Structure 1
């Protein structure tokens, strides 16, 4: 329960998709919410900028306006390239998700989501760098955070402040200093990806399909190493496309051992494998290519313990299948808020804790099996001979492509649907969800 010395009912650290979603849902339920963000909007975020139908569904639940006149562009599916062939695959027409995806640059997407949380009642503090957790000396619970105000150049601007609340949500990204500071370290048995992306001028800027290139060659196609990952072209409708590539390994150690210069690989990939008619080349870049780590498969936990919830990249909520994280961050915010609101309706400390712990159960129940299958998938595609066989013999088959689309997009009916949906749902239930 909130005490008189508390500054809010809940403190959310980080105003990315997970943080803004949490803040929106908590504030919409009438809670007093502080949303703390170290940068000032608009700020850049390294991402593919693609939104799957799963992500679009979460935005719709939040009531976020997605008017195409405001920088949103719809897409109808994936154009998949592999083994010298291409397939155009419409997004599945399912009851649970819209039949379209979208794309929107993260520089403005995150700003709009933070503004949406503000409009719902959350108090947004930008240029506020959280430096650590405040713990209750008697119980050991996280009871707030310390934060350093920053000036426009990111330098300290005044004394540190302390904010207190009965619940704190860490949605502060892949490094999550808040979670690390209380001993929640990254797991070394979970996949880790690396992605680079840039913005490029291209005639494909309004193409109705997002593109995935499932063969990622270290050099000339067919004559160099085949890497575990894929390249993408996501049209943004403004004369440019987000173009990038991502590679994934089953553990951080294997990722480090790969020793790949991803920015150089981006130029090589474009020079050798740019889609016909795209006019994509290193010379078409608008700004510089930037990279980031992708924490996958619940690589940090517990998701809730002693007053602190983890959401989004801070909890490793990125799909090992496709590097998608936005949808899961938005979902985590919704589920976290539900647990927090429910906990406040309980009369005893034990009952409140049990309600908060339901966040972990629900997130693992929804995503644990899917992420486990993703870990198996990564181990397979790390083997070049397996990857080559899958591309050569599997992809040309229509039923395999249907599976690929639903696995890559995580768009399948969890209850019902066709036999492919039921097969995927069954697989996610029979594998471990930890």
Structure 2
């Protein structure tokens, strides 16, 4: 009988599989790892499926190539009643059906020798004298370390007792265009939900159907503060899609919780670390895949050092993450979300869509989405200059106005005063 595995990873989504792959890359024996998930893969998974360039770079580096399936988009577009502008990254964005992407990452772990336990429901997790006890069915095992990668409200976070960030919610479904002006090469982010009291944004993403049916899109809305009822979000999504010219093809509009990163979140107890959405994702746009991959990379490096030191603790796990590029930027995204989804959202919409420097930076193609923290001094200085030149942006409600037939949202907005 072989020795027991040293590390149990609960959750085989991108956060869990990425942690396993990064641990192996750091020299951890794959025989010391076990991936546990209650689902059988490929599983249906609610997610827009868009991966910004930080995520595509990680996947290409770790897997050596892009997984089969999916598609490539050429940019992002931010929209609201005030207009629209392009967000250009330094490389492509990929779009996958999450079931297929998660399966590809899981199979990469299996190919490297990681034990994978599908359809295994962990029912209890509790600290033990030399690690954590993990119970599934009638079986109880003790592991030196547990990596919690089982989502916003998973057992890992609940059992850890650690403080988490805001839990919001999203709804989403697959639609097909009827009379829509589609943009299959663009990930669309629309902040018009704010006008209806929903602190978040809507999205329209091309959907690469595994059955290879063309012309489908995922449309949904995120409530970034968890304050709007799910049935209200579902009705809003269907109405929004109809206004754009789309028709629902899913059996229903599905809902799911999301947990957002903030500086006060906790992610470590002796013998346990949280990664991915269990720790927290982008609070501004709910981007989960790229942050989860980068959190996993950080967690694996710290965990490898703890194993080398034969230590059950990782000093400064949270503060160390905040010192990384991903940590600093997730902190900055949380600050932006506090404003855009906070007390004066219409003022900050006017800033977002009316600040020339920000729009030029977004469209430059030199940056990666979610990597603006390094520009905070320049952004603050330009904001002060804008106030000196034009006055503080108004916090008055932004109202929808009818556009003349044949006039694009952007052209119409340019004729209005976004201040």
What is the aligned partner in structure 1 of residue 386 from structure 2?
none
| Structure 1 residue 393 displacement after superposition | 6.0
Supply the distance in 2 between the matched residues of 1:391 and 1:382 (Cα, whole angstroms). Answer: 10
- Answering whether residue 411 of structure 2 is matched by residue 411 of structure 1, we say no
Work out which of the residue numbers 329, 336, 339 in structure 2 matches 1:370.
329
State the secondary structure of the residue aligned to 2:242.
helix
Supply the distance in 2 between the matched residues of 1:6 and 1:407 (Cα, whole angstroms). Answer: 47
Deviations 1:367-410 (A, max 9, x none): 444344334333323457x3333434651443232456799920
Contact 1:205 1:241 in 2 (8 A): no
Residues 117-266 of structure 1: matches in 2 within 5 Å?
117-136=109-128, 139=129, 142-148=131-137, 160-184=138-162, 186-187=163-164, 190-202=165-177, 207-216=184-193, 225-237=196-208, 238-249=214-225, 255=227, 261-266=232-237
Supply the distance in 1 between the matched residues of 2:61 and 2:172 (Cα, whole angstroms). Answer: 29
Distance change in 2, residues 1:379/1:86 (3 Å): closer
Distance change in 2, residues 1:208/1:182 (3 Å): closer
Contact 1:55 1:330 in 2 (8 A): yes
Moved more, 77-86 or 8-17: 77-86
Distance change in 2, residues 1:325/1:339 (3 Å): same
What is the aligned partner in structure 2 of residue 388 from structure 1?
346
| Structure 1 residue 76 displacement after superposition | 1.7
The runs of 5 or more residues in structure 2 that have no matched partner are 209-213, 382-419
Supply the distance in 1 between the matched residues of 2:350 and 2:264 (Cα, whole angstroms). Answer: 36
| Structure 1 residue 114 displacement after superposition | 0.8
- Answering whether residue 296 of structure 2 is matched by residue 336 of structure 1, we say no
TM-score of the pair, normalised by structure 1: 0.75
TM-score of the pair, normalised by structure 2: 0.78
What is the aligned partner in structure 1 of residue 19 from structure 2?
22
Contact 1:13 1:169 in 2 (8 A): yes
What is the aligned partner in structure 2 of residue 61 from structure 1?
61
Distance change in 2, residues 1:313/1:239 (3 Å): same
| Structure 1 residue 335 displacement after superposition | 1.8
What is the aligned partner in structure 2 of residue 323 from structure 1?
286
Contact 2:329 2:373 in 1 (8 A): no
Contact 1:83 1:391 in 2 (8 A): no
What is the aligned partner in structure 1 of residue 38 from structure 2?
38
What is the aligned partner in structure 2 of residue 104 from structure 1?
96
State the secondary structure of the residue aligned to 2:301.
helix
- Answering whether residue 246 of structure 2 is matched by residue 280 of structure 1, we say yes
Deviations 1:98-136 (A, max 9, x none): x11111011111111111111122110001111122432
What is the aligned partner in structure 2 of residue 291 from structure 1?
255
Contact 1:313 1:325 in 2 (8 A): yes
Residues 356-367 of structure 1: matches in 2 within 5 Å?
356-357=314-315, 359-366=317-324, 367=326
Distance change in 2, residues 1:225/1:365 (3 Å): same
Supply the distance in 1 between the matched residues of 2:181 and 2:199 (Cα, whole angstroms). Answer: 26
What is the aligned partner in structure 2 of residue 13 from structure 1?
10
| Structure 1 residue 341 displacement after superposition | 2.0
Supply the distance in 1 between the matched residues of 2:319 and 2:204 (Cα, whole angstroms). Answer: 36
Supply the distance in 1 between the matched residues of 2:303 and 2:143 (Cα, whole angstroms). Answer: 12
Contact 1:72 1:102 in 2 (8 A): yes
Supply the distance in 2 between the matched residues of 1:143 and 1:370 (Cα, whole angstroms). Answer: 32
Moved more, 356-365 or 29-38: 356-365
Supply the distance in 2 between the matched residues of 1:143 and 1:391 (Cα, whole angstroms). Answer: 46
Deviations 1:69-115 (A, max 9, x none): x2221112112222253323322x3xxxxx11111011111111111
Moved more, 39-48 or 396-405: 396-405
| Structure 1 residue 143 displacement after superposition | 2.9
What is the aligned partner in structure 2 of residue 51 from structure 1?
51
Supply the distance in 1 between the matched residues of 2:256 and 2:56 (Cα, whole angstroms). Answer: 23
Contact 1:193 1:323 in 2 (8 A): no
